[in-house]
Structure formats: structure tokens, C-alpha cells
Structure 1
Amino acid sequence: MQVYKAPLRDMRFALHELFADDGYGNLAAFDEFTPDLLDAVLEEAAKMAQDLLLPLNISGDVEGCQFDNGVVRTPAGFKHAYEQFCQGGWAALANDPQWGGQGLPETLNKLVEEMLCSANLSFSAYPGLTHGATLALETHGSDELKAKYLPNLISGKWGGTMCLTEPHAGSDLGILRTQAKADSDGTYRVSGTKIFISAGDQDLTENIIHLVLARLPDAPPGVKGISMFLVPKYLVDEENRIGARNGAFAMRLEHKMGMRGAATCEMRFDDARGWLVGEAHRGLFAMFTMMNQERLSVGIQGLGIIEAAYQSATAYAKERLQGRSLSGTPQPGQPAEPIIVHPDVRRMLMTMRVYAEGCRALGVWTARALDASEHSTDPEVKERATDFMALMTPIVKALFTDLGSEAASLAIQTYGGHGYIVDSGVEQFARDVRITQIYEGTNGIQALDLVGRKLPANGGRNLRPLFHAISCLLEDLSQETEPQIGSMRDSLSEAFQALRTATDEVMRAGAQDPEEAAAAASDYLRMAGLVALGFCFLKSAAIAHKRIASGTDEADFYKAKIISARFFNDRILPQVFANLRAIKGGKQSTMALDAAAF
């Protein structure tokens, strides 16, 4: 049984309370959006996710997308749901009002994305890809292209994609072969094959705008020779009316492990007319505007599955009668107790719970930095926010999706044998979330990006916003007399010191031998992510303690926040010390075995 109700109270805590002092708020661009207004948007989004999208999740998985004579059909109900989604203005939530967007903060948009991903991960892919395409076009497109394509993309009338991967070129885009040749009218003719294209074709929108990476004839080799082109499915005339079919076709649908309601296509571009976006040979730079946004959104996909898995497992654990409590018999009239009384079931539920709370908090903090990096008028704040975003993007993408996969597995384990059966609905979470660890750059590539690019960039400056925030919190709580808060503070301090040691080790070893840093990369990313989560939990617990002491009428909510923080502190945060030991072990045992011996 798939259960989901948007965790609005925890969302409001992360949105309004937890990071009020991070320096990324009070942006003039969002002055008109009061907390009450943001809360109202969240409440309406919750209704949309729960009532419109959740009922289509299992049926969409069972039916999947269909490929019929070159036409892709989405599962029954998706088209109607998409129309309702767009009519409600959800597609335009965080886009520039100049082009028809509502101009709301990306921080709020990420919470709405979480709801979509919890309710129906497959459906979320369609508006998610379009949102990323609009951001790339807003940043790098000419005024003419913006005026022509952005209004219909932002409204959701047209869909968007990103076309990077080719059969021989996955993450190594430097060897892609798709070609673009200039035409006499100033446009280009694009030819080549792309695979694994999410929403490459579908029946939800009247047009699809592909952003395609290709090479010009005079392109230098490698990634420095890649350009980006806007290639519509249907050509658009001067009045923005749909015209002739362009040479962009879906050749087939991929038969996938999960996310079956999201169309993943092999695309063929045959002399398709396209328009250059940004500068020639600077396409990868332009595409990364979309890619970085998508990497954050993929992290939110992991969070969405964590929450759905947690809620579904909790509902089952409260109903399933099995065994007797080891502490006695709380319900002597029953033949057995609900399995939620058992410590190991509690361990699984609490693990999922803290994954959800922690990732939500860290995701909001990162999204606040995203908003500040784009809208702050203070150069110092803008630089600090940009540095923080650079550091956290690979961490959010990789950590959240790794934890999402773990949570989905724990949900199945909570259900026992019933979890392995399709009828339960929870095995779908494991199948759906698995791709999030792979696409938009595998999690191993995120780790390499972190240690190979983000750590050494600007003399290590990207680390400063995170390390400074942790140091300040530890200092602020140095005289804390409440025992639980003091104990958690000491634990975070030890974990933070371990992260500092690991940082020095990775940067020193990596400067001498890049393979040393690469061998440590995944452990280092996990460490950094867990310490960042530890910061969020300690900060949450300190705020909760103050709220309870002040006599709040929501004492139960804040007591639960402290319990979650304690569990994370006791059971999850200690993993960083194992990560540190692995990092200190070096590359030797990883690289010693000859390839022929595998």
C-alpha cells in the first residue's frame, strides 16, 4: 500500500525556522511572498500531489508508456493530470514573470518538487525537464529565442528535454558524434542519435523543445568543441503557431526497471532544423546551467522516495500484527502486537525518518543558497551562496539518491515478504529510485566532481560557507547546559574534525596522485554529506529546545525533532569515522589487482 501525505509541518519548519539566520534570506526579489502566502501554496500543492498524482502512480507503473507507430503514449490519466497541473499554474511556479512565470523562490519550488516525487516520480519528470530547459534558455538563449519559446515552455503548453547521451558516449561527452551544419538562413541542420532521453516524446504537450549537444564542422576535439542547439519537434512560425514536423523523431522506448510512466526515448535527428543557443563550442557550459539544476532536482527525487517509503512502511508497521513485544504485552487482548513495537522495525523506521528530515533540511538550505546566488544584491552574499551551491550540488545529488535507495530497501524489509510482492506497492519505490543514482551523472561522477573540481577550486573557497556555518554553530552552543544538546554538539564537533582531517588527506594525496583522491571520493562525499546533515540536526534540536522552553503549543512536534536529532547523532553520524578510516587506507587495495584477474 502506497501511503503519502505531504509533511507540511516539517516543510514549514525547514522553510521558515531552521535557516532564518543563514544570510540567504530577505531577498528583495521575493518581498511580496509572505510566509502565509508560501504556506498556502504548499497546502494547495499537497492537495494536487495527493489527490491528482498519487492515484496514478501504481497504474502508471503497471501500464507504462507505449510506442505505437512512432508515437509515444503516456499512461491513462497522465494527460488529464498534466492539463490540470498546468491550469493550476504549477509549471510556472519559479520562472521569471517576464516570460509568464510566477517568480516564486526556487526554495519553495523544491518543496513542491518533493511532493510531486513522493506522489508520482514518473509524472514529475515531465515538468521537471521542462523547468530545467527554461532555465538554460533564460540564461543563454538570444532575446529572439526567449521571446519565441519561453512563454509556452513556462506555461507547460510545450515540453522541454536535454539531449546529451549517445550510444557510445555516456558521461564522456567529449566523444559525442552528433553533427550540426550551418544553413544559409542562419539556422543549423542537426543530425545524430541520442539515447536515454527523458520525455523525448510524449502526448502531454503540443510541442517538444529539445536542447541538443552537437558538433560544428570546425569544432575542436573534446568537450571544448560542443555546441548547444534548440531543436523543436514541430517548427514554429512567426506567429508562434505550430507548423511542419521537424526532423526529430523517437525511434523507440527504453524498457526500464522503473519510472515506467516516464517516456525514455532513443531519438533520431535527421537534418533537423535547430538554432544555436549561446556561443559556438560553449554548449557544455550552457547545458550545465540545466544540468546543475537537474542534479539538485534529482536529489529531491531521492528525498521524495524517502518520504513515501517512510510513510508507507510506517502505516504498515502500525497495522501488521506479528510477535510479542520484548518489554511485555502492551495489547494482551490481541493475538500479537503491531510490528512497530519491535526494536529492529523501529530502527528501520527511524532511519527512514531521519533521512527524510535531514535531506529536506539540507535541500532547503541549498535551495536558499540557489535563490541568493541568483537574486541577492549583496556581492559578498552572492559569492558565498554561489560557492556553497558549487560544493553542495554533487553532495545533494549523490547523498539524497543513495539514501533514497536505502530507504526504499528498508521499506520493503519492513513489509517482509509482502514488500517483495508487487501488490504491496513498495517494491515500486526501489525500482523507481534506482535510476536517480545513475542519471544526470552517476554518483561516482558526483564524488569525482566534488574532490577533483569543487574542493581545489579557488584555493578551497567552496568549503568555507559550510565549514564556517558549522564552526559558528558549535561556538554558539559551546556553553549549552541542556545535556542532550551538549552531547550532540560534542558528537558533531568530533565528526567535523574527522571531515577536516579527511579534507586535508584528500587534497594532499590528490595533489600528488589523482588516483588517491578518486579512490577516496565516494567516502569523502558521504562524510561531507553526513556532517552537513549533522549540522542541520543539531541546529534543529537547539531551536526545538528553545521553542519547548518558551512554552509552545506545538511541544510534541519539537520533542519529535529532538528525538530525530538524537537518533541521527547516535546511529547515523558515527559512520563518518568508518569513512575516514577507509580514506586513510589509500588506493592500494583498490587498484592493486590486475585487470585480468577480475
Structure 2
Amino acid sequence: MTYTAPIDDMMFVIEDLCGLNSVSKLRGLEDATPDLVSAVLEESGKFAGQVLAPLNVVGDRVGLTFEDGKVHTPDGWAAAYHQLVEMGWNSPTSDPERGGMGLPTVVNACIQEMFNGANTAFQLCSVLTQGAIEAIEGYADEALKTVYLPKLVTGEWTGTMNLTEPQAGSDLAAIRSKAEPTGDHYLVSGQKIFITYGEHEMAENIIHLVLARLPDAPAGVKGISLFVVPKYLVNADGSLGQRNDVRCISIEHKLGIHASPTCALAFGDNGGATGYLVGEPNKGLQYMFAMMNNARLGVGLQAVGISELATQHAIKYAMERTQGRTTAGSEETIIGHPDIRRMLGLMKARTEAARVIAYRAATSLDFAQRSSNSEERARHQRRVDLLIPITKGWSTELGIENASLGVQIHGGMGYIEETGAAQHLRDVRITTIYEGTTGIQAIDLVGRKIQRDGGVAAMELVADMRTTARALSELSTNYADWVAICGAVMDAADKVEELTNWILAQRGSEPLAAAVTVLECFGICLGAWVMGDAAISASERIERGRCPMHAKTKLKTVQFYMNNVFPKAEALSSTVKKGAKSILDLSAADFCVDA
């Protein structure tokens, strides 16, 4: 299976639509010039295409073995991981003083998309390690940072997030794992499930971030603390000591991502696993939620990456497969059939819109963390908070739809594992579930983000959408139907405003009942906004003679999005306002089968 990193589109997005020049003026990111970023993306694209992509099918077909508590990854997996570590791709945004590259979050978003597109089962290991780095960097004391951060940043050690337990899925208030204080550390006991890369032999140590309760902790979510629990204890001189009291008791047999070990871990079967408190007692969930923006952005980028891969795969097949009489003149392959172009157009247009939304979320993270202006930091943090559930929820749902279209384009061969199209659908299916299901993202958007701040962030977004519409109204080139594009962006802004006002005006559960529909409508409307900005930049590039082929194709893709994707927003908006009550009117009895 081949994968080609879409570097032209990535550079177009981060330069023209995400303001790379402004990002490179932020504290600590001054070296992130277009030339440097282009060189970084070229190298990461080579690694993705030449090293990770060839292992994708191998990992899917061979999977994992589990014997005597040890997980064995497929042949080539460990060598690829060691190469990733040597090249410094494990944690590109981390501080160079700790071994990172110091790159902007938006540039790392490109790298994450590439690696996920090439081989998402492999890349999950680094994604989880980056989450562990963020937790320790943000909340641990200096002693823990000194011991654990350097080798986590380089990738010599990997990290995990341990939240879920057998009786506690998304309801973390039900966590039972315990941590007993003893001397300068704690003894952690309990079981965790669904732990990605919870056991493997690719790195010399695994650092588990574990949620557990102290003996005097209050009940519910307010009584959860966060602990560092290493697989191997670390001696005072930094060398590895004895094996800690944590072991893998099983791995899951999954629909997709077969080569990513999803583990059940037992802590403290022999007296207690040595752990170290991160930050303050009983604030573990607060720390974990602070990490969720990056984690959920990472899952959204997974979906964008797989969606890009599925699109490339489908295009290649459509260019080669001959069947039936086409309507496109000299084109003899199935891409000459209008319905094939419809499906490919949906895959391409939605993937490119989701890419921009995800990269803009990453850009706002850079500004929220590094801007010297407090008002600018606060505004971008509001934008991050609003965009993350949309990036995670909308991108993953359309990722599934796009991968399914890829199977459809292959026809009967798509249902055959040998073509590889089915793997994309199986791999992307988990993305709507972990790090919070689509329903949880939607409730977060409606409840925590829009209702909590009275719609401030949403209305700031509406203002930016209308700025784009005004800019479109002033264009007069012959490159596209500017009136139609402008009208779609303005309509999109109106719908976001209307739904925001509807949410704020409701009392009771109707906004929660309509939340997933709201999220999808927001995603499509924001897609129209970013595609409108893309049209402006593409037109300017054509005028300057810069990447004219990419720019002309981009304008066609924008036009396709406005005519074939955006119209669905009207139906969704109507469904939000009319459908919520009928959802709430259904009771458990209405789903029972009569005896």
C-alpha cells in the first residue's frame, strides 16, 4: 500500500490559511520559517511513505502475539520505531533543551497527519507518549520532570494514559484504582483496560500515567489523582532498576488497528506498583482534561490522515480500473463515470476542509500558549475550546464515511481484504469512540463550550466567517463563481449564529438531544468558511503564478464542496430545531419488542 504525503496542500494551508508567518513570530518559534517547515515536511513525508506505509498492511495482516505477559509487534515494527527515535520524530513540539525539535503545534499537526495516514496503528505509540509528556511537563514537580521527560521526549521511553476500568468506561467518577502513600511514593493497585501500547518491547521502558484514588479522597470525580507508574523503576543515577508491580494480563482482538496493542493492565497484584503523584492530590481529572485538547486534536488528525490515505487509494484504483462505458470521452477507466467522480469529490473536498479546521485548531493552540498578549491568548484559547470537539467529532465521522466510499469505489473488490480498502474503514472506525465518543464531543460543544460562555467564542467565529464572506464579495476574477461561494459562506455564518442563539434560548434537555446534529452542522458550516478562505488564497496564487495547478484544482474542490457538501447544513439546521423534542419523547418502552 502506498502513501504520498500531500505536502503541497499542507504548505498551502499552514502558510495561507493558518498564518505561518505570524506563528513564527511567537516566543520560541522564530525558526519556523516557510523554508524550514517545507524541509521538515519533506523529510517527515519521506519517512511516512518509505518506512511507515510499507508496514501498514503487514501490521494489519500479521497483528500482535501475546505470550507470558509480553506483547510482540510485527516484524519491522521495532526497527521503524528506533529509526523514528533516531530521526527525532517522536515529539516535534517539545523543548529542544529536553531533546525535542521545538516546532509549532500546527507543523506537528502536519507530521501527525502524515504518520497517521501512512500507518495509524504505529503512530498511536508516539501520540500517547506526547500526551504523557504534556502531563508531566505541565503538572509534575521538577524532580519528576528531570527523571522522566528527557527520555520520553526522545522516545527512548514511551508513555500511556490509564483512565478506563472494567466498570468505568467514560464515567470516570466510577474509578476504583487506589494509591496508598508510603514514604516518598505511593503503592498503586487496580486494573485498567483499553490501554494503547500498554505493553511492548520497542522501547526500554514504558511510563504509565494512571488515575487512582487516595485513601481519604472524596467520592466522584473530585477524588481522582494522577500518578506516574513506570514499567521499570528508575535508579538514582538514571539507570533502570527492577520491574515494577504492573503487568499486562491480556490484549484486545479488535476490528482494526491490529498492530496497536490495546492492553488490560493489572497494578499491584504483588503488594502495589510504585507510583509518584503528579501535581496536587485529587486534581488528576483536571490534569487529564487539560491534556484532552491535544489528545482529541490528535484523534481528529488520525481521521484526516486515514481519510487522505483512503482517498489516494480510491483515486489510484479509479484511474486503473476499466469497467463499463464511461461518459468522459477518452477516459476509459471508471473515473469517467460521474458517480465515481461524485464519490471521489466528496472524499477529497471533505478531507481538505477537515484538514484546515484541524490545523487552525493547532494554530490557535500555539497562540494560546505562546502569545505575549493576554487578550490574544484568551481569545485563541476560546477558539481552541470551540474547535476541538468539532475537529474530533466531525473529522472522525466523515473519516468513516470517506473510508466507506473508498470501499464502494472499489466495488466488490473493496470488500475483499486483498485490495486494502477495507483496512481503512476498519482502522478509522475507532476514532469516533476513543478520547470521547461523538456524543460526548457534541455535549462538550453544546454544554461546556457554547452554553458555558454564553456563545462568546461561537460569535467570535461567526464574525470571522463574515469577514471571509465580505472578502469573497470583493473578488472579481474569472477563476470561480464568487457570488455562489460568498453566498455559501454567509449562509454558513448565519446558521452557526442561529443555532448558537437557539441553544442559548433553550431550557432543559433539548440542546443535548440535538447536540450531535449541531456538531455535524457546525462542522459542515466551518468547512464552508475555510473553503471560502482557500478560494481567496488560491485565486491570489494563480494571479502570482505560484503553484497554479494546485490552486486551480483547489478552486474546483471549493466549488464542489459548496454545491455538494454544504447544502446538507440546511437540513441539519432544521433537524436541530424540530427534531430534539421527538427524541426526548421516546422512552425505553418504545424500543421494546412486543411479546
Q: TM-score range by the shorter chain?
A: over 0.9
Q: Give the Cα separation in 1 of the matches to 2:418 and 2:510.
A: 46
1:394 maps to: 389
Q: Give the Cα separation in 2 of the matches to 1:21 and 1:490.
A: 28
Contact preservation (8 Å) 1:24, 1:385: no
1:334 maps to: none
1:530 pairs with one of 505, 524, 530: 524
SS in 2 for 1:537: helix
1:427 partner amino acid = A
Contact preservation (8 Å) 1:178, 1:193: yes
Does 2:78 align with 1:79? Answer: yes
Contact preservation (8 Å) 2:14, 2:20: no
1:205 partner amino acid = A
Q: Give the Cα separation in 2 of the matches to 1:554 and 1:478.
A: 24
Pairwise CA distance, 1:439: 0.2
Q: Give the Cα separation in 1 of the matches to 2:99 and 2:44.
A: 19
1:43 maps to: 42
Contact preservation (8 Å) 1:466, 1:532: no
SS in 2 for 1:180: strand
Trace 1:537-556 onto structure 2 (pairs within 5 A): 537-550=531-544, 552-556=545-549
1:322 maps to: 323
Residues 170-228 of structure 1 show CA distances to partners (whole Å, capped at 9, x for unaligned) of 11101111111111x12111110110000110111110000000111111111111100
1:227 maps to: 225
2:185 maps to: 187
Contact preservation (8 Å) 1:295, 1:394: yes
Contact preservation (8 Å) 2:343, 2:405: yes
Contact preservation (8 Å) 2:91, 2:126: no
Pairwise CA distance, 1:242: 0.6
Contact preservation (8 Å) 1:234, 1:242: yes
Trace 1:252-291 onto structure 2 (pairs within 5 A): 252-270=250-268, 271-291=272-292
Q: Give the Cα separation in 1 of the matches to 2:291 and 2:498.
A: 34
2:319 partner amino acid = K
Does 2:246 align with 1:248? Answer: yes
Pairwise CA distance, 1:23: 6.2
Pairwise CA distance, 1:589: 1.8
Trace 1:551-570 onto structure 2 (pairs within 5 A): 552-570=545-563
Alpha carbons of structure 1 residues 21 and 211: separation in structure 2 relative to 1, 3 Å: closer
Pairwise CA distance, 1:292: 2.0
Q: Give the Cα separation in 2 of the matches to 1:406 and 1:586.
A: 23
Q: Give the Cα separation in 2 of the matches to 1:348 and 1:265.
A: 37
Q: Give the Cα separation in 2 of the matches to 1:195 and 1:80.
A: 27
Q: Give the Cα separation in 2 of the matches to 1:175 and 1:18.
A: 43
SS in 2 for 1:267: strand
Does 2:3 align with 1:4? Answer: yes
Contact preservation (8 Å) 1:23, 1:381: no
Contact preservation (8 Å) 1:99, 1:147: no
SS in 2 for 1:203: coil
Q: Give the Cα separation in 1 of the matches to 2:546 and 2:141.
A: 53
Q: Give the Cα separation in 2 of the matches to 1:584 and 1:458.
A: 21
Q: Give the Cα separation in 2 of the matches to 1:588 and 1:435.
A: 30
Residues 125-179 of structure 1 show CA distances to partners (whole Å, capped at 9, x for unaligned) of 0111001110111000100000000001001000100000011101110111111
Q: Give the Cα separation in 2 of the matches to 1:587 and 1:38.
A: 46
Instruction: Name the stretch that deviates more: 417-426 or 21-30.
Output: 21-30
SS in 1 for 2:514: helix
Alpha carbons of structure 1 residues 586 and 507: separation in structure 2 relative to 1, 3 Å: farther
Instruction: Name the stretch that deviates more: 520-529 or 299-308.
Output: 520-529
Contact preservation (8 Å) 1:122, 1:260: yes
1:292 maps to: 293
SS in 2 for 1:544: helix
Q: Give the Cα separation in 2 of the matches to 1:304 and 1:368.
A: 18
Q: Give the Cα separation in 1 of the matches to 2:527 and 2:491.
A: 14
Trace 1:196-595 onto structure 2 (pairs within 5 A): 196-270=194-268, 271-326=272-327, 329-330=329-330, 337-482=332-477, 484-509=481-506, 512-513=507-508, 515-550=509-544, 552-595=545-588
Alpha carbons of structure 1 residues 22 and 502: separation in structure 2 relative to 1, 3 Å: farther
Pairwise CA distance, 1:246: 0.6
Q: Give the Cα separation in 2 of the matches to 1:210 and 1:317.
A: 45
Q: Give the Cα separation in 1 of the matches to 2:23 and 2:482.
A: 25
Q: Give the Cα separation in 1 of the matches to 2:60 and 2:553.
A: 34
SS in 1 for 2:206: strand
Residues 310-339 of structure 1 show CA distances to partners (whole Å, capped at 9, x for unaligned) of 000000000000111235x426xxxxx200
Contact preservation (8 Å) 2:2, 2:54: no
Q: Give the Cα separation in 2 of the matches to 1:562 and 1:211.
A: 46
Instruction: Name the stretch that deviates more: 235-244 or 359-368.
Output: 359-368
Q: Give the Cα separation in 2 of the matches to 1:284 and 1:306.
A: 32
2:263 partner amino acid = C
Pairwise CA distance, 1:291: 2.3
Pairwise CA distance, 1:588: 2.6
Q: Give the Cα separation in 2 of the matches to 1:277 and 1:468.
A: 40
1:257 partner amino acid = L
Residues 286-310 of structure 1 show CA distances to partners (whole Å, capped at 9, x for unaligned) of 1123222110000000000110000
Pairwise CA distance, 1:20: 2.5
Instruction: Name the stretch that deviates more: 527-536 or 74-83.
Output: 527-536
Pairwise CA distance, 1:95: 0.5
Alpha carbons of structure 1 residues 265 and 21: separation in structure 2 relative to 1, 3 Å: closer
TM-score (norm 2): 0.96
Contact preservation (8 Å) 1:24, 1:381: no
SS in 2 for 1:229: strand
Instruction: Name the stretch that deviates more: 290-299 or 150-159.
Output: 290-299
Contact preservation (8 Å) 1:3, 1:315: no
Instruction: Name the stretch that deviates more: 358-367 or 267-276.
Output: 358-367
Q: Give the Cα separation in 2 of the matches to 1:22 and 1:56.
A: 36
SS in 1 for 2:207: strand
Pairwise CA distance, 1:21: 8.9
Q: Give the Cα separation in 2 of the matches to 1:459 and 1:92.
A: 36
Alpha carbons of structure 1 residues 25 and 523: separation in structure 2 relative to 1, 3 Å: farther
Q: Give the Cα separation in 2 of the matches to 1:289 and 1:236.
A: 27
Instruction: Name the stretch that deviates more: 252-261 or 100-109.
Output: 100-109
Contact preservation (8 Å) 2:468, 2:489: no
SS in 2 for 1:104: coil
1:539 partner amino acid = D
Q: Give the Cα separation in 1 of the matches to 2:102 and 2:139.
A: 19
Pairwise CA distance, 1:22: 10
Q: Give the Cα separation in 2 of the matches to 1:317 and 1:18.
A: 30
Q: Give the Cα separation in 2 of the matches to 1:325 and 1:62.
A: 35
Contact preservation (8 Å) 1:312, 1:411: yes
Trace 1:109-128 onto structure 2 (pairs within 5 A): 109-128=108-127
Pairwise CA distance, 1:545: 1.5
SS in 1 for 2:408: helix
Contact preservation (8 Å) 2:60, 2:259: yes
Q: Give the Cα separation in 2 of the matches to 1:461 and 1:326.
A: 50
Q: Give the Cα separation in 2 of the matches to 1:588 and 1:62.
A: 46
Alpha carbons of structure 1 residues 487 and 21: separation in structure 2 relative to 1, 3 Å: farther
Contact preservation (8 Å) 1:485, 1:542: no
1:536 partner amino acid = V
Instruction: Name the stretch that deviates more: 186-195 or 312-321.
Output: 186-195
Q: How many pairs does the alignment contain?
A: 586
Q: Give the Cα separation in 2 of the matches to 1:351 and 1:519.
A: 28
SS in 1 for 2:190: strand
Contact preservation (8 Å) 2:304, 2:399: yes
1:448 partner amino acid = I
Pairwise CA distance, 1:491: 1.5
Q: Give the Cα separation in 2 of the matches to 1:321 and 1:264.
A: 41
2:550 partner amino acid = F
